[in-house]
Amino acid sequence: MTIETHAGPRDVIDSPEETAQLERTWHSPGGFIGWFTHVNQRMIGKRFIITAFIFFLLAGILGIVIRLQLAAPEQQLIGPELYNQFFTMHGTVMMFFFAIPVMEGFAIYFVPLMIGTRDMAFPRLNAFGYYVYLIGGIVLFGSLLLSMAPNAGWFNYVPLSGKLYSPGYGVDVWTTMITFIEVSALTAAVELIVTTLRMRAPGMSLNRMPLFVWAALVMSFMIVFAMPAVIVSSTLLILDRLMDTQFFVVAGGGEPLLWQHLFWYFGHPEVYIILVPALGMISTIIITFTRRPIYGYTALVLSVVAIGFVSFGLWVHHMFTTGLPQLGMSFFTAASATIAIPSGVQIFCWIASLWGAKIRFHTPMLWVLGFFAIFVIGGLTGVMVASIPFDTQVHDTFFLVAHFHYVLIGGAVFPLIGATYYWWPKITGRMMSEAAGKWSFWLAFIGFNVTFFPMHQLGLEGMPRRIYTYATEMGWGDLNLLATIGALVLATGFGVTLINAIWSLFRGQQAEPNPWGAPTLEWATDSPPAFYNFRHIPVVASRWPLWDWERDGERAVVTGLRNDRREVVLTSVLDAKPVGVQVLPAPTIWPFVSAVAASIGFVGIIFHPIFFVIAFFLVFFSLVAWFWPRRPWRED
């Protein structure tokens, strides 16, 4: 392995024969069976993104039905049973099956491209994580079609979710599928951490890493520390439900508040797990559309890291009404208010970066500007609910519904849609329509505010969450009708983007390798990239490699990697000095088989404990096949 410098913007050193061999080596096989053997990170990342957006669509439809039911007082559209299933599914799917997987999907797709490598550290684990996610999502939505959907809320509080008050399979499905999906999140997190720390292009020291990669790294560490809490709590609950243990059963000495502590110890970081990658997307888009280095790179990185840390000390602010001691809860008020500082630093670093820049107002930039307006309001209501006395009035009311939709849609979904417009040409090789993108943004922005702003008022006027009906005399009808109209406009806005995306696949303008003039490595290769991502692994000397190459007219690349097997460069953690070469595995069916085997256990145990034993052996055999030694060094 050597590093060579050569002139010209493109990295063509190899002969066409060598490139063809590289193509064969990294090729993902076609055909139906072939589809289940893919391990290339871009294939898996794309599947995560598409699957997550399908769940977004389905959960969004549930949200619209909820809004229609609440549009007028004493409506009879759906009864309490269906309503309770719908809001449970809406929350569960949005949080577990859309928000986290879509962020993981973008990270899986773009982190290796942004750090200049050809795949992730454990490609087969990556594939396993995807199938686990897919199967979990299908089972959960299948339960809705079979009328055995969970109905105890996305937070699934005991004792309501215990066997006594939720007989039937609904909560069993919820509990096992949540455990299952967390496994998927953990595989992606481990994968992203190792890839980011050990596979960066030579020269990309930590302080040259793109801000989105930093955000994905922080997100991954947060997943590693947060998810085990919910895995533990849902496992304890499934034991209570299936094996008659008494962890949460008061009569047996159990403790309902234990669930709340475990759930929110996960649940609060979860919100930031969704938010943090979105912050990375915002920085990325701002850099490209102002076409200059961002102000406060170090401050932005430290803020994201600080948000990651502090988010683990906030969980009790979800429990201010449970009667815990005031003094103890006060610490969580202070910690919650503290979040305002790293958030404020981020916002003002971006404002400083935008100040007086020649901004190109393309669609991705519009979604980011929309983020500012919405997120500031969501952040401020977040500080308000950190106050214990104020929270006792608005907790579990529509004020909270308004608050977290401002934070999650404004803070995460708006940047996400912006990032989708931004990276779409890289993923598909086509540009989406700018005109449709702008229409989509304005409809969504107006629709969003019309939907959720009135909910602040509704909450203060005493309207609790999770109610399927309300009396005319309560006077909540007008604002609810307004919110429902807003929801339809918001859905139309997102719908325009969906149509725009599909339209662009057939009619969209062909995309250049770097249509926006961006500075990061994912734009240094074709749109869409070849299976091997980069013909030669690039070498970087600053935070903005593509701008350097444009200025200098020359670039350095790594040569000497073999074309006949999947080789990537390993580099040191801090300075990204090349230290070795890793040989990655070729396509294989075993991750899929293992995921199916594990699913048999997770789904089967709802019906009979014997499935645990069956799945144990099935998983054992599939893992043996998966881990059958490859010993690539013997070929050397």
Partner 1 sequence: MTSRKHDRTTLLIGATTPLLAACEGPQSALDPAGSAAELIARLWWPTLFVAVLVTLLVLALLAVAIFRAHKRNAALPLSARQSRNLVIAGGIILPLAATIPFALSSFSIGRTIDAPLPDNAMTVEVIGKLWWWEVHYLDEAGDRIATTANEIHIPVGEPVRFLLKSDNVIHSFWVPNLQGKTDMIPGRTNVTSMTANEPGVYRGQCAEYCGTQHALMAFLLVAEEPEAFDDWLAGQRQPAAAPETDAQARGHDVFLDAGCAACHTIRGTPANGEIGPDLTHIASRRTLAGATVPNRTGHLGGWITDPQHVKPGNKMPPSELTPEELKTLLGYLESLE
Residues in contact with partner 1, counted by CB under 8 A, come to a total of 82
Binders of partner 1 in range 464-523 (CB under 8 A): 464-475, 478-479
Edge-to-edge strands, sheet with 554-559: 2-7, 554-559, 538-539
Q: Which is nearer to partner 1, 462 or 632 (by Cβ)?
A: 462
Binders of partner 1 in range 184-203 (CB under 8 A): none
- Closest separation between CB of residue 470 and partner 1, Å? 7
Query: Cα(238)–Cα(438) distance, rounded to whole angstroms?
Result: 47
User: Using the rule CB under 8 A, is 80 a contact of partner 1?
Assistant: yes
CA distances from residue 483 to 31, 79, 452 in whole angstroms, order as listed:
46, 20, 6
Q: Which is nearer to partner 1, 281 or 605 (by Cβ)?
A: 281
DSSP label of 407:
I
Q: Which is nearer to partner 1, 198 or 395 (by Cβ)?
A: 395
List CB contacts of 20: < 8 A, sequence separation 6 or more: none
Please, is 203 exposed, middle or buried when counting C-beta atoms within 10 Å of its C-beta (0-12, 13-18, 19+)? buried
Quote the tokens at residue 312: 């683990």
Q: Which is nearer to partner 1, 139 or 467 (by Cβ)?
A: 467
Binders of partner 1 in range 234-273 (CB under 8 A): 250, 255-257
Q: Which is nearer to partner 1, 123 or 254 (by Cβ)?
A: 254
- Closest separation between CB of residue 269 and partner 1, Å? 21
**Buried (b) or exposed (e) across 167-181, using 16+ Cβ within 10 A?**
eebbbbbbbbbbbbb
Do 89 and 140 touch, CB atoms closer than 8 A? yes
- Closest separation between CB of residue 87 and partner 1, Å? 9
Which segment (37-45, 229-237, 289-297, 518-526) binds partner 1 by CB under 8 A?
289-297
List CB contacts of 573: < 8 A, sequence separation 6 or more: 197, 198, 206
When binding is defined by CB under 8 A, the residue of 261, 317, 395, 543 that contacts partner 1 is 395
Binders of partner 1 in range 133-162 (CB under 8 A): 152-153, 157, 159-160
The total of other beta-carbon atoms located within 10 Å of residue 358's CB is 8
Which segment (227-235, 306-314, 382-390, 441-449) binds partner 1 by CB under 8 A?
382-390
When binding is defined by CB under 8 A, the residue of 323, 328, 553, 629 that contacts partner 1 is 323
Q: Which is nearer to partner 1, 191 or 391 (by Cβ)?
A: 391
Nearest residue to 273 (alpha-carbon basis) of 467, 37, 95? 95
Q: Which is nearer to partner 1, 18 or 396 (by Cβ)?
A: 396
Q: Which is nearer to partner 1, 282 or 595 (by Cβ)?
A: 282
Quote the tokens at residue 418: 């912006």
DSSP label of 152:
S
When binding is defined by CB under 8 A, the residue of 356, 506, 553, 633 that contacts partner 1 is 356
Q: Which is nearer to partner 1, 309 or 611 (by Cβ)?
A: 309
- Closest separation between CB of residue 479 and partner 1, Å? 8
- Specify the amino acid at residue 410: G
Q: Is beta strand 554-559 parallel, antiparallel or unpaired with respect to 567-571?
A: unpaired
Query: Cα(294)–Cα(211) distance, rounded to whole angstroms?
Result: 10
Please, is 88 exposed, middle or buried when counting C-beta atoms within 10 Å of its C-beta (0-12, 13-18, 19+)? buried
User: Using the rule CB under 8 A, is 316 a contact of partner 1?
Assistant: no
Mark out the alpha helices in 244-339 (DSSP H runs): 256-290, 297-310, 326-338
- Closest separation between CB of residue 275 and partner 1, Å? 17
Phi, psi of 6 (to 5 degrees): -140, 155
- Closest separation between CB of residue 449 and partner 1, Å? 12
Do 425 and 374 touch, CB atoms closer than 8 A? no
Q: Which is nearer to partner 1, 25 or 387 (by Cβ)?
A: 387
- Closest separation between CB of residue 13 and partner 1, Å? 37
When binding is defined by CB under 8 A, the residue of 64, 258, 299, 600 that contacts partner 1 is 299
Q: Which is nearer to partner 1, 43 or 95 (by Cβ)?
A: 95
User: Using the rule CB under 8 A, is 585 a contact of partner 1?
Assistant: no
List CB contacts of 360: < 8 A, sequence separation 6 or more: 289, 291
Write down the residue that tokens 């986290």 correspond to: 100
User: Using the rule CB under 8 A, is 328 a contact of partner 1?
Assistant: no
Which segment (385-393, 559-567, 586-594, 610-618) binds partner 1 by CB under 8 A?
385-393
User: Using the rule CB under 8 A, is 205 a contact of partner 1?
Assistant: no
Q: Is the peptide bond before 528 cis (omega within 30 degrees of 0)?
A: yes
Query: Cα(189)–Cα(221) distance, rounded to whole angstroms?
Result: 7
- Closest separation between CB of residue 127 and partner 1, Å? 38
Please, is 182 exposed, middle or buried when counting C-beta atoms within 10 Å of its C-beta (0-12, 13-18, 19+)? buried
Nearest residue to 310 (alpha-carbon basis) of 330, 337, 347, 284? 337
Binders of partner 1 in range 402-461 (CB under 8 A): 457, 460-461
- Closest separation between CB of residue 463 and partner 1, Å? 8
End-to-end CA separation in angstroms for the chain: 14
User: Using the rule CB under 8 A, is 167 a contact of partner 1?
Assistant: no
User: Using the rule CB under 8 A, is 390 a contact of partner 1?
Assistant: yes
When binding is defined by CB under 8 A, the residue of 89, 95, 127, 369 that contacts partner 1 is 369
User: Using the rule CB under 8 A, is 298 a contact of partner 1?
Assistant: no
Query: Is residue 556 within a helix (H) or strand (E), and if so which, with residue range?
Result: strand 554-559
Q: Which is nearer to partner 1, 484 or 533 (by Cβ)?
A: 484
When binding is defined by CB under 8 A, the residue of 344, 560, 580, 609 that contacts partner 1 is 344
Q: Which is nearer to partner 1, 335 or 489 (by Cβ)?
A: 335
Nearest residue to 132 (alpha-carbon basis) of 619, 467, 470? 619
Which value, in Å, is the radius of gyration of the alpha carbons in the chain? Answer: 25
User: Using the rule CB under 8 A, is 533 a contact of partner 1?
Assistant: no
Q: Which is nearer to partner 1, 57 or 160 (by Cβ)?
A: 160
CA distances from residue 296 to 80, 287, 574, 587 in whole angstroms, order as listed:
51, 12, 20, 42
When binding is defined by CB under 8 A, the residue of 8, 24, 35, 81 that contacts partner 1 is 81
When binding is defined by CB under 8 A, the residue of 346, 433, 520, 563 that contacts partner 1 is 346
Q: Which is nearer to partner 1, 18 or 81 (by Cβ)?
A: 81
Binders of partner 1 in range 98-117 (CB under 8 A): none
